[in-house]
Amino acid sequence: LCQFVKGSISTRIQMLEINADTKTKDNVFVGIKVAVQYQVNGDSQSIQDAMYKLTNPRAQIESYVLDVVRSSVPKIDLDNVFLEKEEIAASIKEMLGETMGRFGYSILATPVTDIEPNMEVKRAMNEINKAKRLRQAAVDEGEAIKIRSIKEAEAEAARTEIQAKADAEAKFMQGQGIARQRQAIVSGLRDSVNCFKADVAGVDSKQVMDLLLVTQYFDMMKDIGGNSRSNAVFMNHSPGALQDLTQAIQGGFMSSLPAAPSFAQAQRH
């Protein structure tokens, strides 16, 4: 029969946090924190094994965790330690489950809760990440400037093309207007000469043209004199110089008449 109580053991889930310091493959020292969740199985044999076969289960669990961490992490670079922490946790759980199962314990979870590099290493990693982001920001800014420059050049080219087409169309319409104006002037002069010859006997086409040119010349002088803001150049207006002026005006005007058959025929008469 039982004479006295040897001790008590809890079957509730317990947690043990273990800090393991180790070195990575690229020679960076890191601290890894593992939270082990375990419990004693509920059957009598497991309780007996946990009570009498194992003196210090927490120290036993910690030793196995340190062994797994210090054997697996040195095979991995620092950057990959953060990526492969799930594999590290699975290795720890597999090792503890196999070992502690012989003593009546079940390992429920062994998550890696923290990976803490040396402060200098963390500062260097932050600087590297900062430089990388700044470099990417500079590249993005350069691409943005490039795209903006291209779009501005395309817009300027489009504006230039539109302006050129508008100028060409304006010049074309202006040319048509000038041509129609000259046609109207020629037609009006032709009608005036023909009417004057029909109404006044003994007057040839040259005399009529001289009269028209002199009349237009004096109308022009009247307009210049009536405008106070015009810049006028006054020439010799003596009676002796009038014939020379008429011949000079007539010579400049009549030089463009080969395309007007009626005026050419009148000139030959």
Q: For 210-256, write each residue's pLDDT tens digit.
A: 777 777 777 777 777 777 676 666 666 565 666 666 677 666 655 54
Encoded tokens for 238: 């003596």
Span 68-85, mean pLDDT?
A: 88
Q: Specify whether the CB–CB gap between 68 and 109 falls below 8 A.
A: no
Q: Does pTM surpass 0.85?
A: no
Is the per-residue pLDDT at 264 higher than 70?
no
Query: What pLDDT is stored for residue 241 in this prediction?
Result: 63
- SS3 state of residue 79: helix
The whole-number pLDDT of residue 183 equals 83
Tell me phi and psi for residue 27, to 5 degrees: 60, 45
The tens digit of pLDDT for each residue in 99-123 reads 888 889 999 999 999 888 877 877 8
CA distance 77 to 30: 11
Helix (H, G, I), strand (E, B) or coil at 76: coil
Which tens digit of pLDDT belongs to each residue from 149-195?
999 999 999 999 999 999 888 888 888 888 888 788 778 777 777 77
Distance CA 241, CA 149 (A): 66
CB 32 within 8 A of CB 114: yes
**Model pLDDT, residue 256:** 47
- Per-residue pLDDT band at 260 (split at 50, 70, 90): very low
pLDDT score, position 192 = 75
- pLDDT number for residue 250: 63
**Rounded to an integer, what distance in angstroms lies between the CA atom of residue 208 and that of residue 221?**
20
pLDDT band at 17 (very low <50, low <70, confident <90, very high): very high
Most confident residue range from 32-41, 244-253, 257-266: 32-41
Q: pLDDT at position 263, please?
A: 45
* Residue 8 clears pLDDT 50, i.e. is over it: yes
Alpha helix stretches (DSSP H) within the chain:
44-52, 57-72, 78-83, 85-100, 119-199, 205-226, 239-254, 261-268
Of residues 269 and 34, more confidence is placed in 34
| pLDDT at res. 255 | 58
Does residue 35 surpass a pLDDT of 90?
yes
CA–CA separation, 220 vs 257, rounded Å? 22
- What band does 27 get if pLDDT is binned at 50, 70 and 90? confident
Residue listed under structure tokens 């920001």: 137
